[in-house]
Chains A and B, each alone.
Chain A
Amino acid sequence: MNFILLITAVLTAFALVFAAYWIAKLLSPRSYNPQKGEVYECGIPTRGKSWMQFRVGYYLFAVLFLIFDVETVFLFPWAVVVRDLGVDAIISVLFFFIVLIGGLAYAWKKGALTWD
């Protein structure tokens, strides 16, 4: 039943966007003007391409994010059983934590977290 409901929710989302888009299309006025199709750039014509290179800093944060996000995925199953495992759970996850915090400290020291 849960998965049927999941599919229902997905279809609902698509139906909402599709229906609202077409209702708006039918209701709204339409007029053509060559200037209208230009991208917005404060009224002046666009110079150069917009699909271009951007700062490498964004990539660095994305890579760091990946590390920590995968770490949370690993920790979730462990979090559910920590109450039953008791002290063993702390010891077993301690090394994992040390490596992680070491990784963050290393990135910090290397200046990966500084935006300049």
Chain B
Amino acid sequence: MFDFSVVSSWIHQFLTSVMPEGLAIFLECLVVGVCILAAYAVIAMILIYMERKICAWFQCRIGPDRVGKFGLLQLFADVIKMLIKEIVELKNTDKFLHALAPYIVILSSILAFACLPINKGMEILDFNIGVVFLVAVSSLGVIGILLAGWSSNSKYTMIGAMRSGAQIISYELSIGMCLLAVAIFTGTLQFSEIVAFQADGWLIFKGHIPAVIAFIVYLIAGNAETNRGPFDMPEAESELTAGYHTEYSGMHFGFFYLSEYLNMFIIAGVAATIFLGGWMPLHIPGLEGFNAIMDYIPGFVWFFGKAFFVVFLLMWMRWTFVRLRIDQLLKFEWKILLPIGLFNLVLMILVVVFKLHF
């Protein structure tokens, strides 16, 4: 498997040989920042195009096909449209908080995005408390959403923000339970080690029944966490116009749009990392030739393949089920998913302690 840290350490050595170390580190950080931005923008554009096409297929439509071949230039058209729309200044808003909200939302999703291990040695933020860090930064986003709803001084945004807050914090518990189950099984919180743990089999195959339950619960809760699918209560467009971002226009709205799609990718990426083996290739014990061929496929291809597969599952869920009511939504979390999560945790402890796994 190709180790990307060879490249990064080569760049570091090259830069330190021609300039002082402080400047070298500064330049590297600049490169990392540009890479994060580029990946963030490209993935968001791909996801928006993918969602439009997949949604169209699910509804027996063709989807965007006017701009460019297969509507591929639609991506750029969307971005340009977003950029050249007027940003409307409202009269009665809390100006500071109104401007601050997009910063918090984007900050939370970029920090979570930087945690994903894309290839061997290609993780940007790889803390030894990675899982806790991820949970912490992704729950920062809810503050941005509440601020956006509150500061707009409109009833639609207010209701949207309250619903969104209740929903996101509730479903975060289930996500925490699933990550906890994984942490118990792997015995580490660092993403690179979690991936390395799955070298001889992905967690979903290795982890017995509790891992499968955790995966399913994680997908459901993840869909709710990103305010999508059957759980799009906060922005139920037929009742609340656009929920918490009703009063945002142009690029200001674009930030919420961007972070919504990226959050979906983060949910999918984390699912791919902790359940489907991250950048680990598919290995079937006993088939040496097959395993050797699989090793030739680079790690980031595996990672993005798995992540986009999970994204497809999430989109499938979104376009298949009908929207829930707020009481059903909270009931579903607190009376069904959370008890299942707790039970699954106990099951996972038993599996690990009595070594019932493969």
Contacts and interface: CB of A to CB of B under 8 A. Distances in A.
Interface string B74-90: 00000000111111111
Interface in A1-27: 2, 4-17, 20-21, 23-25, 27
B331 A9 contact: no
Given A16-B106, A24-B85, A28-B86, A68 B173 contact: yes
Contacts of A9: 32-33, 36, 110-111, 114, 124-125
Interface residues of A, number: 69
Contacts of B87: 21, 24-25, 28
Interface string B222-239: 000000000000000000
A51 B94 CA distance: 11
Q: Which of B150, B339, B349 has the most CB of A within 10 A?
A: B349
Scoring A25, A58, A72, A73 by chain B CB atoms within 10 A of each residue's CB, the highest score goes to A72
A8 B33 contact: yes
Given A4-B29, A39-B152, A79 B180 contact: yes
B353 A28 contact: no
13 contacts: A4-B25, A16-B106, A28-B86, A29-B84, A30-B86, A37-B89, A46-B155, A51-B158, A61-B169, A65-B169, A72-B177, A82-B353, A115-B326
Interface size class of B (residues with CB under 8 A): 35 or more
Interface of A is mostly: helix
A82 B352 contact: yes
B236 to A, nearest CB: 15
A51 B187 contact: no
Interface of A: 2, 4-17, 20-21, 23-25, 27-31, 36-41, 46, 50-52, 54-55, 57-58, 61-62, 64-65, 68-69, 72-73, 75-76, 79-84, 86-87, 89-90, 93, 97, 100-101, 104, 108, 113-116
B103 A10 contact: no
B253 to A, nearest CB: 10
Contacts of A15: 33, 37
Contacts of A55: 162
Contact of A20 (B25, B183, B254, B334): B254
Contact of B37 (A16, A54, A61): A16
B346 interface: yes
Contacts of A20: 83, 251, 254-255
Contacts of B33: 8-9, 11-12, 15
A2 to B, nearest CB: 6
